[in-house]
Amino acid sequence: MKKNLLQKSLKQLTIFAFIVFALSVPSYFLLVDWIWLKELDENNQLIAARIENEFNEQKINNEKLAESIAFWNEIQPVSKIESAANPLAKDSLYTIRRENSYSKSEAIDRFRGLKTNILINNKNYVLVVETNVEETEETVAYIAMVTLVFFMILVIGFWILNRKLSRKLWQPFQDTLEKLKSFQLNNQKRISFPETDIIEFNELNTTLDKLLQHNIAAYQSQKEFTENASHELQTPLAVLKNKIDLLLQSDDLTERQYHIAEEMNKAIIRSTRINKNLLLLAKIENNQFDSSTLIRLDTLIDQILDGLPTFFKDKNITITTHIQPAVEVTANSGLTEVLINNLVANAIRHTLPGGSIKIALSASGLEVSNSGEQPLNPDLLFKRFSRISADNNGSGLGLSIVQEICRFHNWEVSYNFKNATHIFFVRILTF
Amino acid sequence: MKVLIIEDEKELAKSIVEYLSEEKYLCEEAATFTEAMNKIDVFNYDCILLDITLPDGNGLKILEELKKDNKQDGVIIISAKNSLDDKIKGLQIGADDYLTKPFHLSELTARIYSLIRRRQFNNANIIRLDELEIDLLAKSVTVNNESVPLTKKEFDLLIYFIGNKKRVLSKSTLAEHLSGDFADMLDNHDFVYAHVKNLKKKLSDAGCEQYIKTVYGTGYIWNG
């Protein structure tokens, strides 16, 4: 799945934040627990001191004291005072988990205990004080809950900021992208990128601008070269053609020489055609045509078909037409004629004797189809000089010209092979 | 018949002159705009072959001048510019025909022939060759006063032959003439043979002498 750049970083950030928050939970717990225990130890010490102090201040005799201690032990189940012959070597601190003896529920509680020596009436006693401590699980659960809430806040914050940022921060980039999308090498229009105060984007725009200008210049000079070369070739080709014409008229020409001259004639006719078509292509590419004539397509097709019959007879091809009347387009009439001519002639040329051709015109476009056996490679079909069929006599530019004329008029030409039929369709988009 | 060839390419002009001279045309050449203007001011021509791109001016200007002075010279534009717009513009200003370089000299000759015929015989433009009679306006042919039904292409072919009498016309040259806009796409020239055969048969069936002869196996010539 494709994501935009900030969404990608959002995922990384979220994972990192999650890890940090996850690690913080045990850290917080350990810290809180340590503070708890420390505080409770201090508290237990104070309680021990207070008990010792209070018993001493009673100033009662030993008998009464033993009675009081027994009673005190009775009402303070978590604490205990025991007389001891020898004082403990050292106070001891401990944590214990057990059932609360006075609680009705079976819950197990955690206690922090202190075992220390006290002196009452100058007699040694061992005092045990226990205080209830918050359970580990509960602490962890509370901390985790708070942490999760903050984590959620953080992620939502990221997400909102991200959306805002991606709109604001990346706006110049989006603008540049839009401009680039609209750029077409062959329509000569230079594009200017919007100014931005972000260094990286500015740099990108400058670089792109340079690149595009270089491309436009290269394309331009290539087109100019094609046009100039074809144009300059016209005259020598004309001279050559006419000299062959003269040669063919020589009185003392032998049959062998005539055939050589005729072969030259054929070659020169073909070069002339290729050259003419290249020139036409270059001119269409250079937009040297006006496209504002209103044309009746149905009449134009009728005219073109009128000039055809002999060729059909020669190949015994059946032609059917479905011409919708009064179809009008605004286009260049000469080019439109070339377009239809090329499509029709192409169909005739590649239909085997006895085959059929269908020409259909509707308001949406023109369809020229002919019977065939194998689908053709649509990638090569419209390419210059890419010969798909075995015969080598065409100029190899007919369909390229069709495509170029369509591009010029903002029409679309497509190829399809269905039911043993090659279908060429020109979608006429502007009416 | 006087023909003025306004063409800056020397070799091209030379070939045209050489080919046309054999047709009893009187050819004059002009290689520049100024030279052409000087000749047009002084003389009248039956046909002017006009190249548009001249070293010192635009050929269309010459055409405009001719029309302004109400001159009756027929004009065929011969241009290396195959621009459709140029063609339309030239014909609008008043050129009679437009031929794109490179062209066959036989094509040019046929066009000059038709142009001069058109200009000389405005109303009844009929070519008579012994028993053969061709009405250029009605596009009909009669042999010994009997009409011969020809197809459009056959008629076209006949005029081409008449315009190039005693010239060897090769198969590929005829193919290029006949196929016109479709020349690019047609690779088989056998249809030329079929057309010529039909034309010959129709004419001889009507009692016309066989003027069209085959030469060198694949070429044709009108001998009459």
Verify whether the Cβ–Cβ distance B173 to A245 is below 8 Å: yes
Query: Which CATH number is A423's domain given?
Result: 3.30.565.10
Residue in B with minimal Cα distance to A263: B172
Q: Indicate whether B106 and B15 sit together in one domain.
A: yes
Q: Which amino acid is at B63?
A: L
> Does residue A272 surpass a pLDDT of 90?
no
> Does residue A228 surpass a pLDDT of 70?
yes
Instruction: Output the average pLDDT for chain A.
Output: 84
Query: Which CATH number is A212's domain given?
Result: 1.10.287.130
Q: Would A188 be classed as within a structural domain? A: no
Percentage of chain A modeled with pLDDT above 70: 93
What's the pLDDT at A431? 47
Residue in A with minimal Cα distance to B221: A249
Q: Indicate whether A301 and A280 sit together in one domain.
A: no
Q: Is the peptide bond before A77 cis (omega within 30 degrees of 0)?
A: no
ipTM, 2 decimals?
0.85
CA-based nearest residue to A261, from A270, A251, A253: A253
Q: Indicate whether B96 and B188 sit together in one domain.
A: no
Q: Indicate whether A379 and A413 sit together in one domain.
A: yes
Shortest distance between the Cα of B69 and any Cα of chain A, in A, equals 31
pLDDT single digits (tens) A364-395: 899 999 998 888 888 888 888 876 666 556 67
Q: Indicate whether B82 and B136 sit together in one domain.
A: no
Taking the Cβ of residue B21 and every Cβ of chain A, the question of whether any pair is shorter than 8 Å is answered with no
Q: B-chain residues within 8 Å CB-CB of A283? A: 83
Q: Indicate whether A110 and A141 sit together in one domain.
A: yes
Q: Which of A36-50, A175-189, B173-187 has the lowest mean pLDDT?
A: B173-187
Q: Indicate whether B146 and B38 sit together in one domain.
A: no
- Residue B33 CA to residue A159 CA, distance in Å, equals 77
Domain with A147 in it: 5-156
What's the pLDDT at B159? 92
> Can you tell me whether residue A273 is helix, strand or coil?
helix
Q: Which two tokens stand for residue A396?
A: 């190899």
Q: B-chain residues within 8 Å CB-CB of A342? A: 184-185
Query: Which CATH number is A147's domain given?
Result: 3.30.450
Verify whether the Cβ–Cβ distance B102 to A337 is below 8 Å: no
Q: Indicate whether B23 and B116 sit together in one domain.
A: yes
CA angle (B67, B71, B73) in 5-degree steps: 105
Residue in B with minimal Cα distance to A239: B12
- Residue A71 CA to residue A360 CA, distance in Å, equals 116
Q: Got the DSSP string for chain B?
A: -EEEEE-S-HHHHHHHHHHHHTTT-EEEEE-SHHHHHHHHHH---SEEEE-SEETTEEHHHHHHHHHHTT---EEEEEES---HHHHHHHHHHT-SEEEESS--HHHHHHHHHHHHHHHH-SS--EEEETTEEEETTTTEEEETTEEE---HHHHHHHHHHHHTTT-EE-HHHHHHHHHGGGTTT----HHHHHHHHHHHHHHHHTT----EEEETTTEEEE--
- Total domains present in chain B: 2
The single residue listed with the structure tokens 């080709």 is A237
Find residues 243-302 of chain A whose CB sits inside 8 Å of chain B.
Answer: 243, 245-246, 248-249, 253, 255, 258-259, 261-262, 265-266, 268-269, 272-273, 276-277, 279-280, 283, 288-290
Taking the Cβ of residue A339 and every Cβ of chain B, the question of whether any pair is shorter than 8 Å is answered with no
Q: Indicate whether A280 and A324 sit together in one domain.
A: no
Neighbours of A202 (CB within 10 A): 14
Q: B-chain residues within 8 Å CB-CB of A235? A: 9, 12, 80, 101
Q: Indicate whether B74 and B155 sit together in one domain.
A: no
Q: Indicate whether A116 and A19 sit together in one domain.
A: yes
Interface residue of B49, B52, B84 to substitute, partner A, most A CBs within 10 Å = B84
Taking the Cβ of residue A381 and every Cβ of chain B, the question of whether any pair is shorter than 8 Å is answered with no
> Can you tell me whether residue A287 is helix, strand or coil?
coil
Q: Indicate whether A11 and A150 sit together in one domain.
A: yes
Shortest distance between the Cα of B150 and any Cα of chain A, in A, equals 13
The single residue listed with the structure tokens 């020397």 is B10
- Residue B3 CA to residue B18 CA, distance in Å, equals 12
Order of strands across the sheet with A123-133? A80-83, A123-133, A108-120, A92-99
Which of B171, B191, B217 lies nearest to residue A311, judging by beta carbons?
Answer: B191
Q: A-chain residues within 8 Å CB-CB of B91? A: none
- Residue A106 CA to residue B182 CA, distance in Å, equals 105
Q: Indicate whether A235 and A303 sit together in one domain.
A: no
Taking the Cβ of residue B162 and every Cβ of chain A, the question of whether any pair is shorter than 8 Å is answered with no
Shortest distance between the Cα of B88 and any Cα of chain A, in A, equals 10
Does residue A237 contact residue A271 with C-beta atoms inside 8 Å?
yes
- Residue A122 CA to residue A53 CA, distance in Å, equals 12
Q: Indicate whether A103 and A20 sit together in one domain.
A: yes
Among residues A124, A156, A188, the one where a domain terminates is A156
> Does residue A50 surpass a pLDDT of 60?
yes
Does residue A403 contact residue A427 with C-beta atoms inside 8 Å?
no
Q: B-chain residues within 8 Å CB-CB of A243? A: 11, 15
> Does residue A328 surpass a pLDDT of 80?
yes
Residues in chain A: 431
DSSP state of A382: T
Neighbours of A87 (CB within 10 A): 13
Domain with B27 in it: 2-120
Among residues A139, A156, A173, the one where a domain terminates is A156
- Residue A192 CA to residue A194 CA, distance in Å, equals 7
Taking the Cβ of residue B102 and every Cβ of chain A, the question of whether any pair is shorter than 8 Å is answered with yes
> Does residue A187 surpass a pLDDT of 80?
no
Order of strands across the sheet with B2-6? B26-30, B2-6, B47-50, B74-79, B97-100
Query: Which CATH number is B75's domain given?
Result: 3.40.50.2300
Query: Which CATH number is B130's domain given?
Result: 1.10.10.10
- Total domains present in chain A: 3
Contacts of A239 (CB under 8 A, 6+ apart): B9, B11, B12, B15, B102
Percentage of chain A modeled with pLDDT above 90: 19
What's the pLDDT at B222? 93
Taking the Cβ of residue B80 and every Cβ of chain A, the question of whether any pair is shorter than 8 Å is answered with yes
Does residue A191 contact residue A212 with C-beta atoms inside 8 Å?
yes
pLDDT per residue of chain B (224 residues) written in tens, 0 to 9: 899 999 999 999 999 999 998 878 899 999 999 999 999 988 889 999 999 888 898 888 999 999 888 888 899 999 876 666 677 788 888 899 999 888 999 999 999 998 988 877 766 688 888 889 998 888 899 999 899 999 888 999 999 999 898 899 999 889 888 877 666 556 667 788 888 999 999 999 999 899 999 998 889 999 87
pLDDT single digits (tens) B40-67: 988 889 999 999 888 898 888 999 999 8
What's the pLDDT at A48? 87
Q: Indicate whether A221 and A280 sit together in one domain.
A: yes
